[in-house]
Structure 1
């Protein structure tokens, strides 16, 4: 008696589909691995594994029909379970955001960034989402200018980790500073860094750079989302060499500056050129050019699109089980803090050039160490971060840079989660106060102010 054709068709379709999906996953992993310059061992595992699995599914077509049907049902159950888990993990950040809003007593804004921009534009506001020079400007090699700040003098929609979006008016060069600070010509403290320095994601008056203005009113914030060591050096040489503050804070973020950021930045000669002593773009005099470039870029990539395309390939991420793979440590581009992934000599050269440049006008460079939130609740991250921390602190000591180490006060805090908006987020208002107080305490003892 021949087996029912529907059962045979069902089993074969599932196995062939699983084989094709596995091969597709392997090709996707291969492309991503090349983009992230993943090591050969990890690349072989994450690329070869899916291809082998796909071949195995094809081989299963030779099994007896009852076994094929059982295997097909098992595969469907596993796939369904995986996408249920993916759905939960995708919603988890929004759940944390709602809980954070309740914790801080803030009404929860469920809109995405595009919707906030759209609603503000409806009432006539000149508004843009925060720009990402690290992501948006660097790939545009044909552009005549590489902006380091955002669009100048516009309402800027930043981020939301506490329930409400941080919205501020950018300064004359697109940074998060009070209007008029550049025209005053006076700067006593310059701060370089990434999104932590820029003020993510607390109200402006509660970010740590704003709190530093209590003692240093003429403080210039050059923090931008995604900045790594080379972009920070670029900001120092383009802007601070003109204003010459007596104190420069180099705010290092553990967990991405030395690995992901630096490994991306060093691929662009536009940034490595800043290691040359006299290299400049002359950005202080080119803000209209920067604005035109960034407005065009943002209009094309964000504002002119429909709201659903603003999710940065969210549907594609869902079907690729992005959140689940991240939770399981199966991200192709996952950064490991192994010596093969960290360019310590380049990091040292960058700091040497930053120190030399700052000393050239009589200023003093301080190294501020911000610890990664993950080190306090995940052992695997703590071990990796400890290794990198030792390497970084050794360089700082060798270069004789004054160190302001936030790991010690954070680790000694009686309620570490209170210092962050939520798991995986930036500092909360309490965390920003701790950062500002620690920096001011060190500066007071060092300068006598």
Structure 2
């Protein structure tokens, strides 16, 4: 592989992104599906790439970019992560945090039980970790799918990446299509008072184009361009952390045969440590969190394109039946969380919170925000702010699961992991009940 191979691969991906952005902005049917441009570009890359018609001249290494891109993403996430004060978490977002944790743990537990106990009975050749591709794709999206796939590949299960990426793609479609159906159901049952028809939605939601009067800056110039461009400064720090994460991961993973520490987890750790160090030294003021987020988001778009385009159709077909069953089980669990658990763990506006949660439980936070805008057009709720507060401690739990679950399951610690997840769910359930009771008492007072 040469530097021009890398350039051509990213050039092809860029061309697909631009073409699909043009399609997204002009084709009404695509707009009504609310498909992200990167997802459309990835599907087109799959159809025209080596796994499809083999028209696009991708290099032989284009399916290996995911590991690097996911490390870049988590480095940016770590640099932009600010842990909320415990008092703020409890007072503002306690119930939503408890529900989010219950949703996360239940997906991983169901996937583990289904894959390790149920599926291996009907399909003995399946890996006991097969069920984990459902939460990897649903909860984490394409980024986590690549991260988990890389971890499994290093542990000897090469097919996991294709399966997890497929799970993530199914999740995005389900998040949008079933999410819209949930909203329509809520409107008919009187669970929500407002509903935004497609024709009345803002242009940037329908076409993805923002009018000049509504545009906002993607970041601030925190340094003088005469010394260094602000974007160069932010990219330099992210890439330095990404390189450091690679070496840290290699070192930690080489300590013994059992430990396999993913690069993305090290990137998140180094990112959060770097942010804390910059803050203590008074240097954080020269960086803009929005620019870190945009670098991560850019890496995410390319990761989705490369990830979906590299899905191996032959592998997918060989797992078709158990994969279909797993996807159905996962979607039923998410519906159960929205319609049964949400009204019992959350107080007022539980339906809007459930709709938002459906979006990120199956797809992405961006889709969750879109669904919330449709269900709550007047923006009467503070769900986004509450979720932002609850996200950080929840993300730590996610990273722990993504980092250690592959190794634990393939090393045979299946029942121990199940027991730990059940215990965690019990603790979260008790905390959630206490927080809801506290909120009801304060409301009554």
Q: Same fold (TM over 0.5)?
A: no
Task: Give the TM-score normalised by structure 1.
Answer: 0.25
The two structures have a TM-score, normalised by structure 2, of 0.25
The structure where helix makes up a greater share of residues is 2
Largest Rg, 1 or 2: 1
Q: Which one scores higher on RCO, CA 8 angstroms, separation ≥ 6?
A: 2
